[in-house]
Amino acid sequence: MNEITKEELREIKEDILKDHAVPEIIYKKLIYDGRQYSLRIPVKFVEEAEINIKQDEFRIELKLPKPYSEEKPEINIKLVRENEKEETRI
């Protein structure tokens, strides 16, 4: 039986991944300054996503469960680009 060397395995992995985007995931905690909570986004993420910090916005939605439900509230955050703002405004 033929065994695959580490080098061959690395080449196979690179070949498979070259056509696929690999998501980068981080976990961050909220920062509280006494008045509000903040979430810091790494510069790498902002640059890679090409976020325009002067024009793009984040839409933050709080979904509350029905009264007396066992469900927990949810927060959804979505990046809204400058050219998408008109479509998403309520």
Residue 61 domain-assigned (yes or no): yes
Mean pLDDT in residue range 13-25 = 75
The pLDDT, as a whole number, for residue 18 is 72
The pLDDT, as a whole number, for residue 15 is 78
Task: Note the pLDDT tens digit of each residue in 25-72.
Answer: 888 899 999 999 999 999 998 998 899 989 999 999 999 999 999 999
Q: Give the domain range for residue 67.
A: 24-88
Residue 78 domain-assigned (yes or no): yes
Q: Report the distance separating Cα 88 and Cα 81, nearest Å.
A: 10
> Do 42 and 49 meet the contact criterion of CB atoms below 8 Å apart?
no
Mean pLDDT in residue range 62-90 = 85
> Do 15 and 8 meet the contact criterion of CB atoms below 8 Å apart?
no
Number of domains making up the chain: 1
Continuous segment of H or E residues that includes residue 70 = none
Decide if pLDDT at 2 tops 80. Answer: no
> Do 42 and 61 meet the contact criterion of CB atoms below 8 Å apart?
no
Residue 45 domain-assigned (yes or no): yes
The pLDDT, as a whole number, for residue 72 is 94
